[in-house]
Amino acid sequence: MSKAASSWFVYMLECKGSRIYTGITVDVEARYAKHCSGQGAAFTRMHKPVRVVAVMPCADRSEASKAEAQLKKLLRPAKLLWAAEWPWVGP
CB half-sphere exposure, 73, CA atoms < 13 A: 6
| pLDDT value at residue 40 | 85
pLDDT digits (tens, 9 = 90+) for 41-81: 999 999 999 999 999 999 999 999 999 999 999 999 999 99
Domains located in the chain, CATH noted: 8-85 (3.40.1440.10)
The percent of residues above 90 in pLDDT, for the chain, comes to: 88
Amino acid at 67: A
| The model's pTM | 0.90
Whether the pLDDT of residue 23 is over 80: the answer is yes
In terms of Cα–Cα distance, which of 87, 78, 7 is closest to 51?
A: 87
